Each structure stands twice: as C-alpha cells, then as structure tokens.
Structure 1
Amino acid sequence: MGLPVAEDARIEVPLADEAATERLAARLAALLRTGDVVALSGDLGSGKTALCRALINALPGPAEEVPSPTFTLVQVYERGDRQVWHFDLYRIENPEDVWELGFEEALAEGISLIEWPERLGGQLPQNRLDLELTVLSTDGQPRRAALRGLGTWAARLAEDAQELAGA
C-alpha cells in the first residue's frame, strides 16, 4: 500500500524512538548528493542534532563523534568522497554572516545540513529538503518528521517517499 504524497511532495514520518530517527537518517543519507541542502527546523530539544549525527554516521566512513555546532556554528565532516557541512545557525544574528562560515563552498561542493534555517532569511536556497521535527508528548517521545521537497527535491521526495517512511 503506497503512502499518499501531496502534489508539493510532503510526507510525514512517525518517529517512535531514537532507533526510528536513526532509520530515517540512514534512508535519507542514501539519497543525498553533493550540493544538497537539508533544512532542519523544530523547537529546542526536538532532535535536530540527533538526526544530523545519525545521518552523518550513516554515510560512508568510520563512526565519529558529531557534537552540536551551536558554538562553532559549523562543523565539516569528510564522509567517503563527500563533505558534509553541519550548520547550527541559532546564534547567528545577520543572515549575511553565513557567507563567512564557508556557506558558498558548502553549497557548491558539499552536503549542507542546516539547523535553524529560518535565520538565513532570503539566503536559504530554494532547492532544498525541509525537515521539521515535532515532539508529540511531554516525555520527548514520540516525535514526527515532516519532510517537504522544494525545487528538484519535490520529485525526489515523491519518488522516494515510501523508502523514507520505511514502508
């Protein structure tokens, strides 16, 4: 039975626990290409960094520690033949400041995982995957991931909706 996919390529994935988040991250990692942007939004503690950690470690290469880049603003990981740029823009005050963090290089040569993408304003690329995490209960579990494909991601998300949702 197929999952319903709206015309603008949106899907929702229930995340019952950390293992479900890791499975979604692994499925997403398999789809990522150089130049891709994944914009992760959600409240503090919703699991954005946990998803990024699982996604980075699902890519080729040895398992490594993936700390939150809250204070460094960006961390770069070599994964196989690709670079993953993990941005946390919570503390950025001016959207233009992102260019000083190597954003242009990340967009051209890497995979960009961006926490707090709303801080970029008009600097956020139109071609991207938006991934919003929502905590559904007071104990932090379960959660829901809402994915929305924009630009070329719309067709990719529609094509891979069942794989991402684990169907």
Structure 2
Amino acid sequence: MHLDTHILRAVAVGLAIVLLYGSRLTKGSVSQAPDGIVFRIKPLFAWSRAIALPAYILFFLYMAATQKQQVPWWMALLLLAAIALGVMQMPGTITLTPTAIKQRFWFQPSKTIQYGEVMAIQAMQGGRMTRVAGDNRVTITHTSNHCAAMEFQQEIERRTGKRIIL
C-alpha cells in the first residue's frame, strides 16, 4: 500500500491541532500524595506529547526513506534538537507541601518557594495561568496545561494568606 504524502501531512496537521487545542478544554484532576497536593499536567496534553514526538520522528524517517536524495546530517541534528527542546519545555509537576510549593521537571532543576517567601500571586490568561513569585528570585508557573487551575489558586491563596493579583 502506498501512502500519499499529501494526505499523510493533512492528517498529521489535523491531529496536532486537535491534540494541542483540545488539551486546553479539559480540566484534569488534582491528586493527593504523601508529600501534599499534586497538580500534574493534563493527561490529554501528556498524551499529545507522547503521540506527537514519536509521530514527528516516524514522519521524518518515512520522508528520509522515500526521498531519492540523502537527508543532510544537519537536518537530522536539527530534528533531534527540536525534540529535545520540546521535552525540556514540558511543564513541571507542582506539589503543594505543608511548608512549600515545589515544581519538579524531568530535565531541569526543581524549584521551591516556602509559603512565607511568596511575594506575589498573579493570574493571567483569564485565570488559566497562575504565576507565584518568591523573594528568593524563584518563579513557579501553573500553566494552562496543568490540571485544576481554580483549585490551585484557591489552595495557594489559603496556604500563603495572599490574594491573587489580576
């Protein structure tokens, strides 16, 4: 069976649009862990990354195998760099412990702000995104790709005693 690249490209673009914008419409749920309340990234967003990255790699390999010309080495390196950048930009899991707010990433150092060190809580994008700034020059951002934005805002206000700046 021969795959038409125009149809394959249209399906890939359509799937990417549905996954990327569909993740914003889901709410997600908060989970309780021994450390505290955990705000993970939304499952649809995580699955879109888990599907999109391998799909990009497979599409690149398919195009490289079917083309008559050899793919330049710098093009393959550029693809790997783009994938690495995409993985590095994944939002970290936020945990509200009894004493601090913590954000853990896969490939970046963790961030921690003690509740007493919180200087400001700022809501953006109509309340879908919340930035917590500490006096230790650390900023933790609850993005629209994290679950339960309203619950996060209510809980961070309660734990810090500070009001959200709109």
Question: What TM-score do you get using the length of structure 2 for normalisation?
Answer: 0.25
- Tell which has more relative contact order, 1 or 2 (C-alpha 8 A, sep 6+): 1
If you compute each CA radius of gyration, which structure gives the higher value, 1 or 2?
Answer: 2
**Which structure dedicates a bigger proportion of its chain to strand?**
1
Question: What TM-score do you get using the length of structure 1 for normalisation?
Answer: 0.25
